[in-house]
Structure 1
Amino acid sequence: MSTQHGNLLETHIVGEDTRQWIVQASDCQALAQKHISHVGVGDAAIPYRIVRTDLSGAYVHGTVGGQGRMLLDGRWRMVRAGMTSFAPAHALHAFHAIPSTRWQYCWVRYMSSSLRSVADAMAPVLAPFDARPLRHAILGLYNEVTYGTQDMGSCSLWVDLMERYIARLADPWRRDERIVAVFNAVLDALDEPWRLEDLAEIAGISAEHLRRSCRKAFGRTPMQQVTHLRIQHAAHRLVTTNDSVDLIAHEVGYENPFAFSNTFKRMTGVRPSQFRIRSNQLENSG
């Protein structure tokens, strides 16, 4: 699918034909303790359109039925049942229902204080993963908070189940010491001119073997994962420092600031300077 996504603006259109069951951290201490902002289950139809131009925290989204369109990692994708995504903090993320089709899904939105939202966190962009157990856990929590006694112990059990299911999606790559070694090396030196051959040498396997392993672990090629980590780190630096865009570009491995700006815009929707201004505006308005 095309990588073009235009100049998207922050959007929240649900529509009368879409139903959502949501639990907010403000209504559930167990979510707040796990640094989770909100969780929910939805059944959407046109005109459902959500655009988040700067996620403050990581976002897990699982499709359990039907299909819809999702903008993730700078690319529009059609998502169907059995597909689950993990969007990092500071990403451009969008969801669109499509005509004549309903879309059933569930989600978990982390706070910026969560370890899953920190800069350089690694997780798959989109992977085959059955989100139905996660959906059941969210509905269990919803019913306890909405219709039950709001028992803290019961709520904590439901939230712990959610975390376990998400760990199955996000963390399996940690069991492969070769992948861990490769991307720990990358994170320690984002400014290095990394090549696929360099990464394969660190892993001690062939380039093709590493490519297959990364595809399975992250849904990206090794070099796409390097780019993802560079842009994620750059976004964090833009928000948390006053360093110049050129300096940040150099820190994450781009000698050409224009090439950095183009890549940053493709993955986040805006130029680095615009991203910094927008993030400051959102923080001040909050």
Structure 2
Amino acid sequence: MHGPSSILELSETHTLGADTEFRVVRASEADKRPWLRGAPVCGTLKTHRICHAGVMTARPPYRVVRMHQSGLYFLACVEGEGRVLVDGRWQKCSAGMAVALPPFMVNAFEAVKGKEWRCCWVRYEQQPEQKPILNSSSPQMAAFHGQVLWNAIDGLIDEAGHDPKPAAMFHWVELIQSYVERFAQPWQQDDRLWRVWEMVAADVGRDWTLDELAHQAHVSAEHLRRLCRRALGRTPMHHVTWLRMRKACELLSTTNLKVETVANTVGYVNPFVFSNTFKKWIGWRPSEHRSKMAV
């Protein structure tokens, strides 16, 4: 297994290994990458900006690293165990868990020695004019019943590969999308909490405190902490930091702003504190981010 220090050594990697098995469906026949070549095509996936979706049983030495993923990558584990790079460190992803990795950041996955990793995925392409699936209140890693998503993707692969019927493919795609949205929008039944995180995301440079967040949500600080732990897997203030780091990655990836300017924009007066926080969450310093993305 790779230790946490190996995060600094990441580079673009696509190692499936002879023992890894997978099935995939793609949105366009124009996507002719070797591992997608020959996969069935379902143009209906484009209605939700899905590039490809698949089911997989991964075994060592499976390892995939994307240094600059251009869209959301959603992965759900239904059996076994693997590891995913989340919040700047390798974390276990086992049965009943899912991860939603946003664009403009490094995505990395690997199988664990001696274990199978049975999982399914949905890969999106982010368009600037379209509303992203992940919002400010979306978890990055949380509990999720992935078997239903596996079944929907598997059904779509079969339909697309054998005498496909547009109406049937439409229903499979809508099911897939609804399951991803179920994970990505945990606050949809509670507008108060959704509004709080939208407020923070719109002004990440503000000096947010736990008491102010709780006041905006009309709950106690302790209750807000419990809600966030359960739905997001992190404390409210850690989620504020995550939103700041996500915004910083976006600015570093899409603009030519100086690191000091980015630091100020996301709420850090001291660029050294910002740099240390960025390294803790992302894996390297903001000054290295653009060169990493260019690899």
- Tell me the TM-score normalized by structure 1: 0.91
Measure the CA separation in 2 of the matches of 1:274 and 1:32: 34
Give the Å deviation of 1:61: 0.6
Measure the CA separation in 2 of the matches of 1:62 and 1:262: 31
The answer to whether residue 196 in structure 2 is matched with residue 182 in structure 1 is yes
Code of the residue aligned with 2:26 in structure 1: it is Q
Is the 8 Å Cα contact of residues 92 and 267 (structure 1) preserved in structure 2? no
Query: What's the counterpart of residue 230 of structure 1?
Result: 244
Q: Of 4, 8, 22, which residue of structure 1 is paired with 2:24?
A: 22
The answer to whether residue 134 in structure 2 is matched with residue 132 in structure 1 is no
Query: What's the counterpart of residue 96 of structure 1?
Result: 110
Give the Å deviation of 1:104: 0.3
The answer to whether residue 205 in structure 2 is matched with residue 191 in structure 1 is yes
* 1:233-248 map, 5 Å: 233-248=247-262
Q: Give a deviation string over 1:60-117, Cα, whole Å, max 9, x none.
A: 1100111111211212211211111111112222211111111100001110226336
Is the 8 Å Cα contact of residues 149 and 179 (structure 2) preserved in structure 1? yes
Q: How high is the sequence identity, in percent, across the aligned residues?
A: 42
Give the Å deviation of 1:269: 2.8
Is the 8 Å Cα contact of residues 59 and 86 (structure 1) preserved in structure 2? yes
Query: What's the counterpart of residue 173 of structure 1?
Result: 187
Measure the CA separation in 2 of the matches of 1:117 and 1:50: 23
Query: What's the counterpart of residue 158 of structure 2?
Result: 143
Query: What's the counterpart of residue 223 of structure 2?
Result: 209
Q: Of 113, 120, 123, which residue of structure 2 is paired with 1:106?
A: 120
- When structure 1 is superposed on structure 2, of 123-132 and 185-194 the one drifting more is 185-194
Unaligned runs of 5+ in 1: none
Give the Å deviation of 1:213: 0.9
Measure the CA separation in 1 of the matches of 2:279 and 2:105: 11
Code of the residue aligned with 1:130 in structure 2: it is H
Measure the CA separation in 1 of the matches of 2:256 and 2:229: 35
The answer to whether residue 12 in structure 2 is matched with residue 10 in structure 1 is yes
- When structure 1 is superposed on structure 2, of 263-272 and 47-56 the one drifting more is 263-272
Secondary structure of the structure 2 residue equivalent to 1:173 = coil
Unaligned runs of 5+ in 2: 29-40
Code of the residue aligned with 2:278 in structure 1: it is F
Is the 8 Å Cα contact of residues 69 and 107 (structure 2) preserved in structure 1? yes
Query: What's the counterpart of residue 97 of structure 2?
Result: 83
Structure 1 pair 155–121 and aligned structure 2 pair: CA distance change class (3 A) = farther
RMSD: 2.0
Give runs of ≥4 in structure 1 deviating > 6 Å: none
Give the Å deviation of 1:18: 0.4
Measure the CA separation in 2 of the matches of 1:200 and 1:241: 33
- When structure 1 is superposed on structure 2, of 268-277 and 51-60 the one drifting more is 268-277
Is the 8 Å Cα contact of residues 83 and 112 (structure 2) preserved in structure 1? yes
Code of the residue aligned with 1:9 in structure 2: it is S
Structure 1 pair 51–117 and aligned structure 2 pair: CA distance change class (3 A) = farther
Code of the residue aligned with 1:51 in structure 2: it is V
Is the 8 Å Cα contact of residues 22 and 38 (structure 1) preserved in structure 2? yes
- How many pairs were matched up? 279
Code of the residue aligned with 1:100 in structure 2: it is G
Query: What's the counterpart of residue 35 of structure 2?
Result: none
Measure the CA separation in 1 of the matches of 2:72 and 2:141: 13
Measure the CA separation in 1 of the matches of 2:164 and 2:285: 45
